[in-house]
Chain A
């Protein structure tokens, strides 16, 4: 019985010569950005090490992830990529004041490719992995960017960004307005 079925399907393949449209494999559409997320919007991060922190949204990157900054001096969140689905957009908005983040894209966050150099014995048996330190230029870029943003913030907005979001008794997210 099985063999007959195989034969039948084989026959079908020979008969149906359909031209299949070949999809371009590299083409990806940037996922849609939610309507209520605008540049300068304050978002609440819901996952990762920085969950509960309130951060400022800068722009959407090509990969669809959102570029976000603490600012670092306020809450310790650096320039970071965040998935839309893991944020709550609040209605609070911050004036970005001409901060320059046009040059930052997904390549800024690409991992540094380890040099395929000599797999020497020392390296192989190294007990301590070389520490990954953020290059000074990135730190400076962060500082420069944040300075502009923090300058335009009111005192209460600064303490708002410093604080963390959390749920307490009888607070239900589906009933809350953000």
Chain B
């Protein structure tokens, strides 16, 4: 019974949590040593250039595709496309949570007002139905 499910391995999709690329997805393509990996979200897809990164800055996801060490861009792209990992991530609950956080952060004042009205409406309905009971 293995306790670990997410491993640092080539082909593993990860979210960068710190540094200039914070908040972006990337794929582990090679392993340097116990603490560092080489990472690449192909730059035009996720905006992460191929570079070395300490593992500490990564949050591993559930998604991977089978890859050998040191895969280069062509193989990386093919793997990502075939596995559809990026879409799978954004459809997972983690991905959805990130998206709603971003949407909330980018709300304009008018949108915030509309959300407040909607919340008030909803709570009114809830209270009404509770009162009926």
Binding site for B on A (CB under 8 A): 42, 44, 88, 90-92, 156-157, 159-160, 163, 165, 175-178
> Considering only CB atoms and an 8 Å cut-off, how many residues of chain B contact the other chain?
9
Bound state CA distance, A159 and B110, in angstroms? Answer: 10
Q: Are A156 and B117 in contact (CB under 8 A)?
A: yes
Bound state CA distance, A92 and B107, in angstroms? Answer: 12
Q: Are A160 and B110 in contact (CB under 8 A)?
A: yes
Q: Are B114 and A177 in contact (CB under 8 A)?
A: no
Closest B residue by C-beta to A171: B112
Q: Are A163 and B108 in contact (CB under 8 A)?
A: no
Q: Does B18 contact A (CB under 8 A)?
A: no
Bound state CA distance, A90 and B107, in angstroms? Answer: 11
Bound state CA distance, A157 and B108, in angstroms? Answer: 14
Partner of B108, one of A156, A159, A165, A177: A177
Q: Are B113 and A91 in contact (CB under 8 A)?
A: no
Q: Are A92 and B110 in contact (CB under 8 A)?
A: yes
Q: Are A175 and B105 in contact (CB under 8 A)?
A: yes
- In angstroms, how far is the closest chain A Cβ from the Cβ of B104? 10
- In angstroms, how far is the closest chain A Cβ from the Cβ of B101? 12
Interface string of B13-37 (1 = CB under 8 A from A): 0000000000000000000000000
Chain A residue contacts of B108, Cβ below 8 A:
90-92, 177-178
Q: Are B114 and A91 in contact (CB under 8 A)?
A: no
What are 11 sample pairs from A and B whose C-beta atoms fall under 8 A apart?
A88-B109, A92-B109, A156-B113, A159-B113, A159-B117, A160-B110, A165-B109, A177-B106, A177-B109, A178-B108, A178-B109
List 9 additional contacts besides A42-B110, A157-B110, A175-B105; criterion CB under 8 Å.
Answer: A42-B109, A44-B109, A90-B108, A90-B109, A91-B108, A91-B109, A156-B114, A165-B109, A176-B109
Chain B residue contacts of A92, Cβ below 8 A:
108-110
CB under 8 Å from chain A, chain B span 101-128:
105-110, 113-114, 117
Bound state CA distance, A178 and B108, in angstroms? Answer: 5
- In angstroms, how far is the closest chain A Cβ from the Cβ of B5? 34
Q: Are A160 and B105 in contact (CB under 8 A)?
A: no
- In angstroms, how far is the closest chain A Cβ from the Cβ of B115? 11
Interface centre among B107, B110, B114 (most CB of A within 10 A): B110
CB under 8 Å from chain A, chain B span 54-103:
none
Chain B residue contacts of A42, Cβ below 8 A:
109-110
Bound state CA distance, A156 and B117, in angstroms? Answer: 9
- In angstroms, how far is the closest chain B Cβ from the Cβ of A55? 13
- In angstroms, how far is the closest chain B Cβ from the Cβ of A53? 13
Closest A residue by C-beta to B112: A176
Bound state CA distance, A156 and B108, in angstroms? Answer: 14
Closest A residue by C-beta to B114: A156
